[in-house]
Structure 1
Amino acid sequence: MLEFIGRFHPLLVHLPIGILLLACFFDLLAMRPDYAQLRSVVPLMLLIGFISALLSSISGFLLSGATDYDEDLVLYHQWLGIGTTVMAGILFSLHKKGSSSSRWGTILLVLLITITGHFGGTLTHGEGYLTEGLGGAVETGPVLDSVPNIQQMAVYNGLVQPIFEARCVGCHGDSKQKGGLRLDGEEWILEGGEDGPILPDPKDGENSEGEMIKRLLLPLEAKKHMPPKAKSQLTQEEISLLHWWVRSGAPFNKKVGEMEQDGKMKTVLKALASGKSAGGPEASVSDLLPSEPVAPAPATAVERLRDAGVMVLPLAQNSNYLSVSFLSAQRTDDSIFQTLEELKPQLVWLKLDDMKLSPQTIKSLSTLVNLRKLSLSGSSITDADLNALQQLKQLRSLNLSATAITVAGLQSIKALTHLRELYLYKTTIKTTDWPALQQTFPKVNIDTGNYRLPMLPGDTSEVKLN
């Protein structure tokens, strides 16, 4: 019962804040002769503010014993709240006596309300909540640097924990536990939050994702999407790593090399070891993001893709344009690829690395005319399939690494005038073919893995080894 009363604290606390600040404002304004009449209502406002502050302090005390907030912050907030209540009572008494020293009491009360409110905001929203919006755009770059000996790294300590620290602990750490959840230690992660465990129950089978992964894959606008829309979002590779860790049983003591790795996960880990994105060096978001607005994607289509383990994420904050990755897909049948056609206006970034592409898949791919970045690294794409890519007139970046395409096949995409990045490492193309290939694509940066061919200023080219 006491805990139930304590939960009214967030509702009660705003009344004393508002009425006491208004009383202070009236009191200071009444120093001017033109507003002297306001002084008569100040004592009543202070009395109401004192009573509501007292009730707020009591409910806050009851709430503090029923939550896992940081003890030091709670203590500061609690005593400052009591001090504010006492100061409101003293100021009411001074006004009733007509004391001139009430003006200094008014200034002190404003300071107490401000500092108490700051600590309350820190408890509710986490450290740095007041200044986090002053740094411009939310940083969404990768958390993990290159890890040369990644197979020897501890999965949790080296990969999972850094992601949690950078993306999650601000709301789920020692100073704040939104939803009763902490992600800064093994025991807390296994315990879960108010809504139950965040990791899947082993009884649910190996394909179970658990609540944490489900919320990561929700649309950015969804109420339960994590992290919240205003916070730094996870990259696709980071989501893939967490998804892999969870589906592998969420071990806390295993090394990377001790865990089973499918072809897609090997691609992510290899890219991380080299310090590159799994889809190749990233094109700028500004170039990938069309300037004209677009309607939201059909929710049913997005849901079908996510049910199949496909990652569907917004390309940027407050944007309906999407990036889709099959890195962690559990189903890759033709019907799933046909669903992509429903996202044709919104889909601008697609990763199909290590995929076996059927004729129907290629047909679906050719309809995605808004695509600006396409990664087919390690896929089964052939020279004949490249003909379908001629329809992707907006394509800026194309990754064909580790595929069977040839110089002859690449001739079919030379009409893609917006193409600026072409990744061809680990293909059958010979070194002697590179200069001629650059002549065919004079405005394209061709990455061969061992060296990158620069854009030609004219009709000649110079190949430089790194």
Structure 2
Amino acid sequence: MHLRFRVFAEQLLVASNIVILFLLIFENKLVIPAWLQTVGRMHPLILHFPIVILLIAMLLEFFRFKPEYATNQFYRNFLQNMLLVGALFAAITVVMGLFLSREEGYSGDVLNYHKWTGAGIFFFASFIYFVRNTTWYKAPVAKAGAFVTVVALVMTGHYGAALTHGSNFIWEPIDSQKTMAAVPLEQAVVFTNVIRPILEQKCTSCHNPDKLKGQLNMADAASLLKGGKSGKLFVAGNPEVSLLLKRVHLPMEDKKHMPPTGKAQLTLQEIALLTLWVKKNADFKKKLTELPATDSLRIVATAYLKPVEQEIAYNFDAADEETVAKLNTDYRTILPLARESPALAVNIYNSATYDVKQLNELETIKKQVISLNLNKMPVKDADLKSITEFENLRRLDLNFTDVTANGLKTLASLKHLQNLTLSGTKVDFNDMKALLPELKPLKTVAVWDTKLTATDVQNLQNANKNIEIIGGFKDDGKNPLKLNPPQVKNSSTIFARSLNLELRHPIKNVDIRYTTDGSEPDSIKSPLFDKMLVTKSGTIKAKAYKEGWYGSDLATFDFFKSAYNPDSVNLLAPLNRVHQAEGAKTFFDHKLGVIGANNPAWANNWAGVRDNDMAFISEFKKPILISSLGVHYMVEEDTGIFPPESIEIWGGENAQSLKLLTKFKAGMPKKGDRPSLQTVEWTFKPQSVSYLKIIAKPLSKIPEWHRSKGNKALLLVDEMFLN
């Protein structure tokens, strides 16, 4: 290297030490503009240069004082230039890394280790460069310095890999081959032993306390419930609108697809498990054996945990994986019954899209299908002919279908059918008495919630000793089941004058007990629900009870009176880009939103504003006498969704002569409050109006205790009630 360039490079190295030291001291005050963020993101590209150059330089430095090298001028010059270039590249890499670390999603101990070992390498390499020609710098010092630098390079690389690929990236292929059933099936907890291992293998490398991509941590249950920047990770009981499943099902080329391209992807079995777990209300404590034996989650999770049993030998080969993948759709999943097994289990969902073609399309894998789940599908007797094509079928679920005994006789041709479920069908005692002798391989048949009485079931059992007749839940004190919460049967709980409120439960002969005073209903003193005529806004709390079952969780239903609907509504200020809902019609369409709408996928019923007022004017062709306004809104303080700061109501005979009728405020949440849907209602002196102007102002400054303190809050409203 020319002397003039070397002097310049050395001056640049000194300046780099000063700049990097300054950046490290004042790191917390750094605000990185967009163009510098682009520079920071080149950190992974540049970092390989100093690693390679410094490794070579330190290897040469280690042997520098050997007699044959000590007097070699080329060796000495080459080594000095390599060390100088390596230190300068290390400086560039450290600066880029500091810029990158200021972006969202990077935090935690691993980041600190990576940052300080990286910066330490740069400072140490600079130190060696400037002292290597002093009189005290001898062979032992050179060897020790080279060794320390190489060890630090390895450690820095390890921490960097942990940030980008996860702490278990190197050993993941080996770990994934280990037997999953480290716990007996009887002790397995669905989340702990099935769901969490999937997330750890496929998700937590980017979503952990050390790398919070999208501000999302998936390392523990509390963090999963909290969600991230885009909102809640899932809606318990509703996988269709859960962000977790939406991202998984995006096309691979979509930048929001998860896991991202290049990372290990979720298998069809893993996707099915996540979907079924969310559908089962995403319970974090439920044991696998607490689920019904016929439950889809239990069946798939058992297959996931339990290796294929050696004593089961199928006389057919495994189906082609690409063929199976193509046959999987949004409403039909095909999964291996167990790991390394050629046997397949088919589940068909969504009764609205069901067609017998969904069965006929499985012609190419008909030998491999040994389990078929058609629960709650509109299956007819004619469809059973297609089912008999699955010659190796061992399990068939026809619960709550439209099949009859005449059609079921067709199943006699299935020589391996061992388990049949007919719960909720129209079969009676005479039907089953004639049918069971025809189904000779059968070992179990479920007939609960049919026309069969307990006596009928016992008589059938006595006549068919080789078949277990499952007539319903038996309260033997060992495995009591928990009822689902009651549900509202009404299409909407918003009404103009009165509402015949109806509650229902999917299981027959369940007692629904309720309260309207805010207390929690019990199984004895609280009144039984039949029907209720509602004439004013209020809340009902309900629980389901049945002898031999655990009572359900509490269900809370709000109902709202809204006597007037405007003939026209016009926005006076725009809604934000994400929360457009139905525009001006949103406020009076009788559609209520759900929690977790700080996400484009869940914004269908929410109108939102942040940078301007939520303002509109409504017209009534005939004057109305109005004395109250109710506003239904969401509160999710953690993601910056706050109640309105104030609400103004203006009214008059025409749009040009409106006067202020009232102005009121909503209560503000406290730090750590759970997300909720709330209503603020205000009454005022009755006024006759033909025009109403309503202005809801978003919170102008988020409180000091919030991480977004001082910023404007997001206001989300889905409905308003005029009375």
Output the TM-score relative to the length of structure 2: 0.43
1:20-49 Cα distance to aligned partner (Å, 9 max, x none): 234444555778899998955443333332
Change (3 A) 1:367 1:346: same
Shift of 1:381: 7.7
Q: Secondary structure at the match of 2:346?
A: strand
Counterpart position of 2:354: 332
Instruction: Please list, as runs of the form range in 1=range in 2, the aligned pairs for 1:57-456 lying within 5 A after superposition.
Output: 57-93=94-130, 99-100=138-139, 101-135=141-175, 137=177, 165-168=196-199, 170-171=204-205, 172-178=207-213, 180-183=215-218, 184=220, 192-193=228-229, 198-199=233-234, 208-216=240-248, 224=257, 229=264, 234=270, 236=272, 238-245=274-281, 269-271=291-293, 277=299, 284=308, 294-297=320-323, 301-302=327-328, 305-306=329-330, 308=331, 310-313=332-335, 323-326=345-348, 331-341=353-363, 344=366, 349-353=371-375, 355-368=377-390, 374-376=395-397, 378=399, 380=403, 383-390=408-415, 398-402=418-422, 404=432, 406-411=435-440, 423-426=443-446, 429-431=460-462, 433-434=464-465, 437=466
Instruction: Please list, as runs of the form range in 1=range in 2, the aligned pairs for 1:13-24 lying within 5 A after superposition.
Output: 13-24=47-58
Shift of 1:325: 2.0
Distance between the aligned counterparts of 2:274 and 2:364, measured in 1?
26
Structure 1 unaligned segments of length 5 or more: list them: 149-157, 201-205, 257-266, 414-421, 438-445, 451-466
Shift of 1:62: 1.3
Shift of 1:54: 1.4
Shift of 1:112: 0.5
Indicate the percent of aligned positions where both proteins have the same amino acid.
23
1:331-372 Cα distance to aligned partner (Å, 9 max, x none): 323233333346558756543345553345333333445x67
Q: Is the 8 A contact 1:174 1:182 kept in 2?
A: yes
Q: Secondary structure at the match of 1:311?
A: strand
Higher relative contact order (CA 8 A, sep 6+): 1
Q: Is the 8 A contact 2:419 2:445 kept in 1?
A: no
Shift of 1:296: 0.4
Shift of 1:181: 2.8
Q: Is the 8 A contact 2:335 2:344 kept in 1?
A: yes
Q: Is the 8 A contact 1:327 1:352 kept in 2?
A: yes
Q: Is the 8 A contact 1:50 1:88 kept in 2?
A: yes
Distance between the aligned counterparts of 2:232 and 2:259, measured in 1?
15
Q: Which amino acid aligns with 2:397?
A: L
Change (3 A) 1:95 1:83: same
Change (3 A) 1:104 1:272: farther
Structure 2 unaligned segments of length 5 or more: list them: 1-33, 424-431, 448-456, 472-723
Distance between the aligned counterparts of 1:374 and 1:288, measured in 2?
16
Q: Which amino acid aligns with 2:323?
A: A
Q: Which amino acid aligns with 1:387?
A: A
Distance between the aligned counterparts of 2:366 and 2:300, measured in 1?
23
Distance between the aligned counterparts of 1:245 and 1:191, measured in 2?
16
Q: Is the 8 A contact 2:421 2:446 kept in 1?
A: yes
Q: Is the 8 A contact 1:217 1:312 kept in 2?
A: no
Distance between the aligned counterparts of 1:34 and 1:449, measured in 2?
89
Q: Secondary structure at the match of 2:162?
A: helix
Counterpart position of 1:151: none
1:93-143 Cα distance to aligned partner (Å, 9 max, x none): 455668422221111111101112222222223343343444351555599
Counterpart position of 2:46: 12
Distance between the aligned counterparts of 2:254 and 2:419, measured in 1?
32
Shift of 1:329: 6.6
1:152-209 Cα distance to aligned partner (Å, 9 max, x none): xxxxxx9779866443263433233345433446787565457x76557xxxxx8943
More strand, by proportion: 2
Shift of 1:52: 2.0
Q: Secondary structure at the match of 2:211?
A: coil
Q: Is the 8 A contact 1:145 1:272 kept in 2?
A: no
Q: Is the 8 A contact 1:311 1:328 kept in 2?
A: no
Distance between the aligned counterparts of 1:141 and 1:354, measured in 2?
32
Distance between the aligned counterparts of 1:368 and 1:352, measured in 2?
14
Change (3 A) 1:400 1:83: same
Change (3 A) 1:238 1:68: closer
1:261-281 Cα distance to aligned partner (Å, 9 max, x none): xxxxxx9943499x9647998
Q: Is the 8 A contact 1:16 1:53 kept in 2?
A: yes
Shift of 1:83: 0.8
Distance between the aligned counterparts of 1:124 and 1:103, measured in 2?
32
Q: Which amino acid aligns with 2:211?
A: K
The structure number with the bigger radius of gyration is 2
Change (3 A) 1:115 1:108: same
Q: CA RMSD in A?
A: 5.2
